[in-house]
Amino acid sequence: MTALATVGGAALGDKLRALGAFDAETCMSCGICTATCPLGIDVLPRQLLRHAALGLEQRIRDEQEVVFSCLLCRACEQSCPAGVHIAQDIRLLRRWLLEQGGE
């Protein structure tokens, strides 16, 4: 309950959409993706997508190791009831992180 983040400002979603088809907002937080993820990392993929959808940029930067450890296997996409393009979203996050690092 302590972490305070601000949603808004320059929207992360809009920045990512400038890079490609980002659709994490379609996620309904059911968690089937996390259940099917072979890596078993706590933050993957539900929470990561949630942080991305809400535009919690610092969170994403803190979680970049997780972003890059994803295998892009798409096991999660197979069972996603909302049809979120999770692998594509993670690719876009990687690109955004890399571009950030380059600045």
Partner 1 sequence: MSERRIGVYVCQCGGNISDYVDVEQVVGAVANDPGVVVARTAMFTCSDATQQEIEADIREQQLDGLVVASCSPKLHTFTFREAARRAGLNPYEYTQVNIREQCSWTHTDDRTGATRKAMQLVRAGIARTRLTEPLEPTAVQTTPSALVIGGGVAGMRAAIGLADLGLGVFLVEREARLCGHTGELGELFPNAGTGSGLVARLLEQIRERPQIAVFTSAEVTAKSGTYGNYRAVIRAGEESIHAEIGQIIVATGFDSYEPAAGEYGYGIQGVLTLPEFRRMLDSREDLIVGGRKPESIAYVYCVGSRCEEHPYCSRFCCSAAVHASLLASDRVAGVRQYHLYRDMRTYGRNELMLSESRERGSLYLKFADGDPPEVTHDGQRLSVTVRDQLTGGDELTIPADLVVLVTGMVPQANDRLVKTLKLPVGGDGFFNEIHPKLRPVETVVDGVLIAGACQGPKTVAESVTSGLAAVSQTAAVLKRGVAELDPQIATVHASACSGCGACVEACPFGAISMIARDGGEVAQIDRAGCKGCGACAPVCGEDAIDLLGYTDGQVRAMIDALIQIPPTHPHLP
Tell me the C-alpha distance between 96 and 15, whole Å: 8
Contact flag: residue 51 with partner 1 (CB under 8 A): yes
Residue 60 host element (H or E): helix 57-62
Q: Which is nearer to partner 1, 6 or 103 (CB)?
A: 6
Q: Which of 15, 19, 25, 101 binds partner 1 (CB under 8 A)?
A: 25
Length of the chain: 103
Residues 6 or more apart whose CB falls under 8 angstroms from that of 31 comprise: 46
Q: Is the dihedral of CA 75, 82, 8, 21 positive or negative?
A: positive
Q: Which of 16, 52, 53, 60 binds partner 1 (CB under 8 A)?
A: 53
State the binding string over 1-20 for partner 1 (x if CB under 8 A, else -).
Answer: xxxxxxxxx-x-xx------
Applying CB under 8 A, the residues found at the interface with partner 1 are: 1-9, 11, 13-14, 23, 25-29, 47, 50-51, 53-54, 56, 82
